[in-house]
Amino acid sequence: MKILLIGASSYLGARLYFDLKNNHQIIGTYFKTKLSDNFAQLDTTNEEDIKETISSVNPEVIIHAANYSNVRSCEKDLQMTKLVNEKATEIIVNHSKKINCQLIYISTYGVKDISEKYSNIYTLSKLKSETIIKNSLRNYLILQPRLIIGMSPNILNDRFSNRLLNNINEKKGGEYDTSWRFQPTYIGHISEVLELVISKKINQQTIPIMTKEIKSKFELAKDIFSSFGIEPIPIDQHNQLPLVADDLSTLKRLNLPIYSYQEIIEKLIKEYKNANYFQSGL
Ligand SMILES: NC(=O)c1ccc[n+]([C@@H]2O[C@H](COP(=O)([O-])OP(=O)(O)OC[C@H]3O[C@@H](n4cnc5c(N)ncnc54)[C@H](OP(=O)(O)O)[C@@H]3O)[C@@H](O)[C@H]2O)c1
């Protein structure tokens, strides 16, 4: 398959590029972080840039993983959030329609947290993008990970997983929250689901990807660090989010892989022990 991966320089995008590149002709884009000489520059706030990239690559599948994805930055810069998270999706949708390719949008399971009592600019912008896609396209898929953990060739971004890696390298456990409880997502699980949905030509689905078990950041850190002889420090950040859990019925219905928490912990420990493996070959 010829795939255009928008946001290959992100924490998630870099791992997707790494995992998919052997089986597909994949063209990755970056905006400011040129992780690889193979990546092409694309500013998703620039319509001409998007139009030119999509028409010249002419992909069969576009994976859209570029976003203003930090909750705090979104609260601070509403205009940029609108441009990068909503307007860009609209433009990508319009141009993917023209070449009749499939659009796979990386959303977040956080959209399920939105209620009368709770919302934030980031998740609202993701929900808006989901709505734009569902209302405009027939050839689409939406993936909804929760907090993503696992190695990526991008170890620069301020992501939970990269923080774990830094603690492992420095041999000292940092502080991890005990209050927010969620179903973690293993980064390699997203790549596997992508391989399968692309090859099975699955369409018009919204797919939550995560383990069944509900954990906190502290529990995750503790279970991973136990293999590296370090201990995380528990802190209570008083996260008030109500627990919204997924029953994994979409993964089951579509015959896609499901991993238990124990299985992902084993995979994660192996990945953190071989962290250098992900630093080559982008
Ligand atoms: N990380 C998680 O736990 C998590 C959980 C659920 C869903 N997601 C979703 O997964 C996707 C990737 O998240 P992430 O955490 O891996 O992201 P990230 O590391 O914060 O990276 C953000 C990406 O967006 C790109 N970007 C920002 N502004 C851009 C612009 N104007 N034009 C083009 N690209 C631009 C960045 O490019 P440069 O760096 O090159 O500037 C980078 O590739 C996002 O859609 C996010 O909502 C992530």
Give the pLDDT confidence of 139-164 residue by residue, as tens digits: 999 999 999 999 999 999 999 999 99
Q: Say yes or no: CB of residue 102 within 6 Å of ligand 1.
A: no
Asked if residues 173 and 167 have their Cβ atoms less than 8 Å apart, the reply is: yes
Residue ranges of the chain with per-residue pLDDT less than 70: none
Q: Which amino acid belongs to residue 108?
A: T
pLDDT score of 280? 77
**pLDDT computed for residue 38 by the predictor:** 95
Q: Supply the range of the domain harboring residue 242.
A: 2-279
Answer yes or no: is the C-beta of 162 below 6 A from any ligand 1 atom.
Answer: no
Atom of ligand 1 nearest to the CA of 126: 47
| Domain of residue 192, CATH code | 3.40.50.720
Cα 87 to middle of ligand 1, angstroms: 15
Q: Provide the b/e sequence for 206-222 (b: ≥16 CB within 10 Å).
A: bbbbbbeeebbbbbbbb
State how far the Cα of 208 lies from the Cα of 224, in Å rounded to an integer. Answer: 23
Determine the pLDDT at residue 182: 96
Cβ 85 under 6 angstroms from ligand 1: no
Report the pLDDT value the prediction gives residue 17, as an integer from 0 to 100.
98
Q: Is 113 in the pocket of ligand 1 (CB under 6 A)?
A: no
pLDDT at 241: 84
- The span from the CA of 88 to the CA of 66, in Å, is 9
- How many domains in the chain? 1
**Atom of ligand 1 minimally distant from the CA of 44:** 32
